[in-house]
């Protein structure tokens, strides 16, 4: 069953055309990674999905309903089901780890402080960072910030998690930790994951399917084996690091 469908999406920024005709279906419970060169609009697709940007035309179906024309007020409900882990973790610098993770709970739920603290502690344990509730983001390494960002994304028990370059700037140990967390969440919580990354090794490790965005549209969707075996020049060159 498709949980998300992008249909004939077009998008431009001033005179810079990003998408001509983007079509992509995402199955509930899968991890799909969107690949493509710099500037092809991979992260833009995630932002359009949760209403941070608007498509110029086309439809975005979430659970069968077109959400592409939703108002900001309607997107608040969507964001309670679709969470996003931004590239830098995007933590609020001026508040503690506890309050960072509690923020979406206070925004989207009516839970009391005791209930919120319980969820904060549980989610920090889930990402391997117990007992750091009182630390400030500035006291955390880059890898820890990403994991706290993931704990915050999980706070509202989302159906879908969007990962924008989740392993960028991390050392190999933290890359492995993040990849394992993405796979664990899919297995244990049946979360649908959409990942944008330049990291091919991570993409091949975590993905059920991959989609390649090129020349303003999706030119490939398929398994890791299928993309590795593709002889289509654009795909073959990208996967093998060949610059035309």
Computed over every residue of the chain, the mean pLDDT equals: 92
pLDDT in tens, 52-67: 999 999 999 999 999 9
Helical H segments across the chain, by residue range: 42-49, 72-79, 97-108, 113-126, 142-154, 172-189, 200-206, 224-229, 233-239
Quote the Cα angle for 101-151-209, to 5°.
140
The pLDDT assigned to 89 comes to: 65
Q: pLDDT at residue 243 above 80? A: no
Instruction: Give Dmax over CA atoms of the chain in angstroms.
Output: 58
For residue 148, report the phi and psi dihedrals to the nearest 5 degrees.
Answer: -65, -40
H or E segment to which residue 30 belongs: none
pLDDT in tens, 163-206: 999 988 888 988 999 999 999 989 988 999 999 998 999 999 99
Question: How far is CA 51 from each of CA 11, 76, 167, rounded to the nearest angstrom?
Answer: 13, 9, 24
Q: For domain 1-81+192-244, which CATH number applies: 3.30.420.40, 2.60.120.380, 3.40.50.300, 3.30.70.1150? A: 3.40.50.300
Instruction: Please say whether the beta carbons of 206 and 199 come within 8 A.
Output: no
Token pair 């490790």: residue: 205
């Amino acid at each position: 069953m498709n949980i998300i469908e992008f249909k004939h999406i077009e998008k431009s920024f001033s005179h810079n055309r990003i998408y001509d005709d983007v079509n992509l279906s995402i199955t509930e419970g899968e991890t799909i990674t969107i690949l493509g060169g710099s500037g092809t609009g991979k992260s833009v697709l995630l932002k359009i999905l949760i209403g941070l940007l608007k498509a110029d035309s086309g439809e975005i179906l979430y659970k069968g309903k077109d959400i592409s024309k939703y108002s900001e007020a309607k997107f608040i409900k969507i964001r309670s089901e679709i969470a996003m882990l931004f590239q830098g973790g995007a933590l609020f610098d001026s508040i503690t780890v506890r309050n960072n993770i509690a923020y979406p709970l206070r925004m989207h739920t009516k839970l009391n402080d005791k209930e919120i603290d319980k969820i904060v502690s549980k989610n920090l344990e889930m990402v391997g960072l117990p007992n750091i509730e009182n630390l400030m983001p500035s006291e955390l390494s880059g890898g820890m910030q990403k994991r706290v960002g993931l704990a915050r994304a999980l706070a509202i028990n989302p159906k879908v998690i969007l990962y924008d370059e989740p392993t960028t700037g991390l050392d190999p140990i933290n890359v492995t930790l993040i990849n394992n967390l993405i796979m664990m969440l899919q297995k244990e919580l049946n979360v649908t994951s959409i990942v944008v990354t330049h990291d091919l090794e991570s993409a091949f490790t975590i993905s059920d399917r991959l989609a390649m965005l090129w020349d303003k549209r999706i030119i490939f969707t398929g398994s890791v084996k299928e993309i590795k075996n593709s002889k289509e020049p654009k795909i073959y060159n990208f996967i093998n690091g060949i610059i035309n």
